[in-house]
Structure 1
Amino acid sequence: MSARTSLSRNTHLIEAAWEVCNQVGGIYTVIRTKIPGILQHWNHQHYVLTGPYFPAQADAVVDPQDEDGSVFGQAAQLLRARGYRVVYGRWLVPGRPQVVLIDPESGPLSDEDIRRKLQDELGIPCPANDPLFRQVARFNLGLFEFCLRCSELLPVQSPLIAHFHEWMAGLPIALLQALPETLRPGHLRTVFTTHATLLGRYLAMQDLDFYENLAGFEWQREARHYGIEPGVRTERAAANGADVFTTVSAITADECTHLLGRTPDLLLPNGINSERFEALHEFQNLHKQNKERIHAFTMGHFFRSTPLDLDTTLYFFTSGRYEFRNKGFDMTLDALSRVNTALREAGSPTSIVMFFITRAPYHSINPNVLESRALLEELRNTCDEVAEEIKQSLLYRALREPSRRLPDLNSCISEHIRLRLRRSLQSWESQELPYVTTHTMVDSDGDPILQAIRRVKLFNHREDPVKIVYHPDFVTQLSPLFGMEYPEFVRGCHLGIFPSYYEPWGYTPLECVSSGVPAITSNLSGFGDYVQKSMRNHRRQGLYVVDRRSRSYQDCVEELAGYMLDIAAMSRRDRIELRNRTEAGSPLFGWDRLIKHYQKAYTLSQR
């Protein structure tokens, strides 16, 4: 461990979260990306991550190991002897940290025993009809046992810190507090981080004046109203029982004070692992390469009826958890409607393809979208054959032409290939409007994004400069529509749009910054608030912050539309220079700078 901290060199650290080796949302990215920063300060043998074991996700990213004599490996063995299914190994991410995963379907207690234990010892109801809370409870009981076994294996002069993220890994704190003082490990200290309060997320989705009304909410009544009392009680117990309580932003700290009954001791802002390049052209080339792959999607999706000039087409996107209002999807669509009108009335040559990337219930990829993709591939293959035939025939005919004139290119193509190309072009033509969604939705009529698209009438008409693509799933390499990973998709775009109403931090604009992609956020997100307070000239560095505090919704829409139009009006050279400045500012948010806040929390826990 680094001498720059006041922590003892023999201190051990357990970091626990539901999203360790289990990608659900942004916390997965936070934990995974900060590992190299943590390991700059901690001995590999003294640090372990723990999470639930879900084979479909974990088996692809964990290298199982024999328990090699480390404290955490021995504790995993002891846990296994208690009836838990446990996987011990290395997480296959940069740093390859130790990881212990606990099967949330295992353990020695019955469901009834668990319900009784939580109710009697902690006052936390455990409903029989809530399968998620049942899994969370089982995982947390195993996590509690793991922490105890580690504390028993370590001598009392070796401090042990257990850092729990979110309510889904917070029960061990309450269980430790419930132990008789004589049984509580004296050298085990706890840190709890809430990245967003469970109740706050629900309230913000329903209350149009959430921040103004924050001080007036009665937590227990609201938790019961939304049917989330078990999770809220767990979160409150963890927040109030931890030796050190932290959150990610000043906005969420205020929320914690009112909804959890304790003001956080520290703020732990989220960072990124910014991939730096020796030469500016390297990341610009990556933008160009990935943009070409998005071009391929655009041609397949739009060109059958609505060809676009790819040289003047910009790619905007938003992504994140499907919380229509909290994530600002509503404001984004209203602003896009204004942008569409402004560009059309100005006769602008610029087209904008706006991607909504979020996970929503769907049946399958739209067969018509797949058909267009297949027809494009067939046409591409035919054109490749035409080009190959022309290349071979042209050389032969040019050499034989006595006058040295350019041969007739039509004569270089066989009738067979000519017919095949004609048929491919006839099959390609379509009069249907390009679909606004790439999938067949489970509830097309009730889907909030589709409802808003109908309201603002952005249906991908040929005359509309703004086109919509709603992709209700993550972008991955395995996607037949994109065939690229999400970070590659981000690099290929020109602007990320995240004007959130409720966002404790906001990782998506950070991902843009690390890729040299300008981003729009809001000052109701922790990240946007942080940017406003720490970066004097943030707009010059590609970070636009919509002021959503004490302003009308329509004023905010107007400001957001103005930022989009500013980007659309830029020349290609201006956009390149903006990407350069955006990428150059990314080290300000690097984990190598921000990991010090975690070290401070761990040091504080020892006092």
Structure 2
Amino acid sequence: MLIEISTEAARKIGGIYTVISSKLPYLQKKYKEDLLLISMLDEKSEIDEKPAGKLKPVFSKLSALGIKCKYGEWSGYGAKVIAIDAREFGERPAAYVDESGRTVNDKQANCIKYKLWKEFKIDSLESSWDFNEAVVWGHAVGILIEELINAKIIASPTLQFHEWLTGAALLHLKSKGISLPTVFTTHATVLGRSLASTGRDVLREAAEKKEGINISESYRYHVEAKHQLEVQTALNADVLTCVSKAVATEVQYILGRKPDVIVWNGVAKPPAVSEERKKRAHFIRDELLRFLESYFQPYYDQSYKDAILTYISGRYEFSNKGFDIYINALGRLNKQLKKVKSEKRIFAFIFAASSTSGPRDEVIHNYLLQNKANHFLRTYTESIYEKYGNTPNAIAVLKAKNKSVGTNLQSMLKGMMKLGSAPAISTHNLNYGNDIILNTCRAAGLNNAKDDRVKIIFYPTYASPMDGVLNMAYYDVLKGTDIGIFPSRYEPYGYTPIESCFAKNISFTTDASGFGLYALENIPQASRMGLKILKVQRRKTQHTVDELARELLALYKMPADRFRQLEQEAAKVINYCTWDKTIWYYFKAYQMAEQKHGNEYSKG
């Protein structure tokens, strides 16, 4: 039996959700009914509740402690899940005996943290709320597993723990002397991510240093509690795994243990390309061009024919994700293209969620008008942008045939709102000033001026069907774009380039990302397949900026048929990254853990 513990099973909050959900069918195929997921319970949980059955006595026992359990199936996946809400448990009164023998009355959360200090020397005196939440939840997971074993509901499962967030569960079982095969997977280290965010080259540092990192660094970046929990989880697991060679180097340096197995990430097998999917991609492309025209049209006319749509997406980690490389390369490209006589434009999106008060009023107003105008035009022509370049040109042709309709449409477009001399860079009102993305765009000369060949659009919210502007899921948006650029300095694995290729986008990653390193080893002639791997390691940033600018200029000048061919080739990259090629690394890790606990495990 396999029990997989994470905070993201049936709960979409981050990148690990993609890992767990996409590999789930392969676990279900192997373990069938002997697979159980344990996750966190809150309003984000995606669980179809089922009768608790034989679990009911255990749930009642935990409920008396303030631990709420919900049993069911992961909506759309069918896997068995127990989700736990331990918030009340953490606030319940409890007591512990300190080192002087004095009984201290406190809330349960602090008692758990004291136990972690006493038994594992995890210093959480100055810990943050998210550490406290994870520790209480993890401890509750440990209690659940303990009670399931005591009740003989499960016998000898292999336990898979994801990330430091699950560490308290593993350590609880260790503390209780419950000997089960344990596998701990770190997708990125807490301290490594913190170091990289300040501009430190973690991979180079890890490769050059002979000794592990000093614990004082965790205090310097105020992540000492998370770091020490992660270290102890790594040291106490039977098998330690990570998701790429990049992380393996980092893990040995940061956590003080060499990973036993690299469990490369994978993706689900793509469905066959259907006519319906092609039509949808065409519709989304038209919708994006319509949005872009509504964004820029109030300020100046320009052609949208043969436009190239690029994007970068990810957490708002400016240095780690390489936002500066993306922006500065586009700035350099913009200066070069101003010397070229061409109406072709590059529209560059930045998808990075931040704090906003909502979309700008003029953005919504103008988009609605543009949609209405295009709706009328569609009764006369199906191809506005490829045939006419923009809406005003299409209206002018229509006006020659039907003056009244053409005049009405021109009047409609005159009702668009215009604020300032050029379109704002951000589609939304930010809740703060001095934004580093906006500042870097301006410094790079990307101001959305009329003579700019590269136009920049900062979309500081999660793209979703209810985001208030495009109202499209992120993965749908990709289907209407051309180039995905992810110049990360720190990326433990990185699904975004794979997702980009799947959407038939020419894609960029780096030799500092886990996927980039995987591609260098496993995807022959990747660049000919529309996957470009930028050199970031042991290199000055300006050289990477120059390389990206050169590559983009070459794509800009590339004949349309070759460009489209490269997009088609990019979609084939996914064939090298499916779970049927990588799931075996997880199975190897489970077997290694089981072998440490006797032959009865290695049979399964």
Please classify the TM superposition score into its range, dividing by the shorter chain length.
0.7 to 0.9
Confirm or deny that 1:370 pairs with 2:367.
no
- Indicate the residue corresponding to 2:101 in structure 1: none
- Indicate the residue corresponding to 1:98 in structure 2: 80
Confirm or deny that 1:185 pairs with 2:178.
yes
Equivalent residues in 2 for 1:37-116 (5 A)? Answer: 37-43=26-32, 45-55=33-43, 57-58=44-45, 61-69=46-54, 75-76=58-59, 78-93=61-76, 95-107=77-89, 110=107, 111-116=109-114
Q: Which residue identity does 2:594 align to in structure 1?
A: Q
- Indicate the residue corresponding to 1:5 in structure 2: none
- Indicate the residue corresponding to 1:165 in structure 2: 162
1:198 to 190, 200, 207: 190
- Helix, strand or coil: the match of 2:528? coil
Confirm or deny that 1:488 pairs with 2:476.
yes
Q: Which residue identity does 1:559 align to in structure 2?
A: E
Q: Which residue identity does 1:427 align to in structure 2?
A: G
Confirm or deny that 1:300 pairs with 2:273.
no
- Residue 510 of structure 1 and its aligned partner are, at CA, apart by 1.3
2:439 to 451, 459, 462: 451
Q: How many percent identity over aligned positions?
A: 27
- Indicate the residue corresponding to 1:594 in structure 2: 582
- Indicate the residue corresponding to 1:434 in structure 2: 423
- Helix, strand or coil: the match of 2:134? helix
Q: Which residue identity does 2:359 align to in structure 1?
A: I
Distance 1:64 1:475, change over 3 A: same
Structure 1: how far apart are the matches of 2:406 and 2:195? 63
Structure 1: how far apart are the matches of 2:510 and 2:157? 39
- Helix, strand or coil: the match of 2:305? helix
CA offsets 1:33-79 (integer angstroms, 9 cap, x no match):
11112212121x21122221121x12xx221111144x6x7754543
CA offsets 1:3-52 (integer angstroms, 9 cap, x no match):
xxxxxxxxx11111122233332112111211112212121x21122221
- Helix, strand or coil: the match of 1:89? strand
CA offsets 1:403-426 (integer angstroms, 9 cap, x no match):
xxxx99547x4xxx7875454232
- Indicate the residue corresponding to 1:396 in structure 2: none
Confirm or deny that 1:174 pairs with 2:171.
yes
Q: Is the 8 A contact 2:370 2:413 kept in 1?
A: no
Q: Which residue identity does 1:39 align to in structure 2?
A: Q
- Indicate the residue corresponding to 2:99 in structure 1: none
1:273 to 247, 259, 268: 268
- Residue 579 of structure 1 and its aligned partner are, at CA, apart by 2.2
- Residue 472 of structure 1 and its aligned partner are, at CA, apart by 1.1
Equivalent residues in 2 for 1:239-254 (5 A)? Answer: 239-254=234-249
CA offsets 1:316-370 (integer angstroms, 9 cap, x no match):
1111111101101111111111111222212233211111111112222222222
Equivalent residues in 2 for 1:276-295 (5 A)? Answer: 276-277=271-272, 284-295=278-289
Q: Is the 8 A contact 2:191 2:254 kept in 1?
A: yes
- Indicate the residue corresponding to 2:342 in structure 1: 348
Instruction: Give the superposed CA RMSD.
Output: 2.5
Structure 1: how far apart are the matches of 2:73 and 2:302? 47
Q: Which moved more, 1:30-39 or 1:192-201?
A: 30-39
- Residue 83 of structure 1 and its aligned partner are, at CA, apart by 2.6
Confirm or deny that 1:231 pairs with 2:189.
no
- Indicate the residue corresponding to 1:392 in structure 2: none
Q: Is the 8 A contact 1:76 1:88 kept in 2?
A: no
- Residue 276 of structure 1 and its aligned partner are, at CA, apart by 2.8
Q: Which residue identity does 1:85 align to in structure 2?
A: K
CA offsets 1:149-171 (integer angstroms, 9 cap, x no match):
23334488x43011111101122
- Residue 583 of structure 1 and its aligned partner are, at CA, apart by 1.5
Q: Is the 8 A contact 1:197 1:256 kept in 2?
A: yes
- Residue 436 of structure 1 and its aligned partner are, at CA, apart by 0.7
Q: Which residue identity does 1:248 align to in structure 2?
A: V
Structure 2: how far apart are the matches of 1:418 and 1:547? 52
Q: Which residue identity does 1:67 align to in structure 2?
A: A
Q: Which residue identity does 2:479 align to in structure 1?
A: R
Structure 1: how far apart are the matches of 2:322 and 2:401? 54
2:14 to 11, 18, 25: 25
Structure 2: how far apart are the matches of 1:104 and 1:352? 49
Q: Is the 8 A contact 1:88 1:99 kept in 2?
A: yes
Structure 2: how far apart are the matches of 1:410 and 1:587? 51
Q: Which moved more, 1:453-462 or 1:107-116?
A: 107-116
- Helix, strand or coil: the match of 1:428? coil
Q: Is the 8 A contact 1:147 1:162 kept in 2?
A: no
- Helix, strand or coil: the match of 2:338? helix
- Residue 311 of structure 1 and its aligned partner are, at CA, apart by 2.1
- Helix, strand or coil: the match of 1:527? helix
Structure 1: how far apart are the matches of 2:278 and 2:527? 20
Q: Which residue identity does 2:39 align to in structure 1?
A: G
User: What residue ranges of structure 2 are gaps of 5+ in the alignment?
Assistant: 95-106, 382-398, 596-604
Confirm or deny that 1:503 pairs with 2:486.
no
- Indicate the residue corresponding to 1:548 in structure 2: 536
- Residue 519 of structure 1 and its aligned partner are, at CA, apart by 0.8
- Helix, strand or coil: the match of 1:40? helix
Structure 2: how far apart are the matches of 1:75 and 1:290? 50
Q: Is the 8 A contact 1:512 1:518 kept in 2?
A: yes
Structure 2: how far apart are the matches of 1:126 and 1:102? 23
- Indicate the residue corresponding to 1:146 in structure 2: 144
- Residue 278 of structure 1 and its aligned partner are, at CA, apart by 5.4
Q: Which residue identity does 2:216 align to in structure 1?
A: R
2:256 to 256, 261, 266: 261
- Residue 498 of structure 1 and its aligned partner are, at CA, apart by 0.5
CA offsets 1:179-235 (integer angstroms, 9 cap, x no match):
3xxxx234x211100000100001112244433333266331000111111100110
Q: Is the 8 A contact 2:359 2:428 kept in 1?
A: yes
Q: Is the 8 A contact 2:302 2:343 kept in 1?
A: no
Confirm or deny that 1:358 pairs with 2:352.
yes
Confirm or deny that 1:567 pairs with 2:561.
no
Structure 1: how far apart are the matches of 2:377 and 2:16? 46
Q: Which residue identity does 1:543 align to in structure 2?
A: L
Structure 1: how far apart are the matches of 2:18 and 2:162? 13
Structure 2: how far apart are the matches of 1:116 and 1:17? 23
Q: Is the 8 A contact 1:274 1:514 kept in 2?
A: no
Q: Is the 8 A contact 1:30 1:270 kept in 2?
A: yes
Q: Is the 8 A contact 2:522 2:576 kept in 1?
A: no
Structure 2: how far apart are the matches of 1:337 and 1:98? 50
Distance 1:316 1:409, change over 3 A: closer
Structure 1: how far apart are the matches of 2:406 and 2:340? 41
Q: Which residue identity does 1:35 align to in structure 2?
A: L
Q: Is the 8 A contact 1:272 1:514 kept in 2?
A: no
Q: Which residue identity does 1:337 align to in structure 2?
A: G
User: What residue ranges of structure 1 are gaps of 5+ in the alignment?
Assistant: 1-11, 388-406
- Residue 537 of structure 1 and its aligned partner are, at CA, apart by 0.4
- Residue 286 of structure 1 and its aligned partner are, at CA, apart by 4.1
Q: Which moved more, 1:140-149 or 1:217-226?
A: 217-226
Structure 1: how far apart are the matches of 2:267 and 2:277? 16
Structure 1: how far apart are the matches of 2:578 and 2:458? 31
Structure 1: how far apart are the matches of 2:408 and 2:344? 34
- Helix, strand or coil: the match of 1:561? helix
- Residue 553 of structure 1 and its aligned partner are, at CA, apart by 1.6
Structure 1: how far apart are the matches of 2:128 and 2:27? 35
- Residue 308 of structure 1 and its aligned partner are, at CA, apart by 3.6
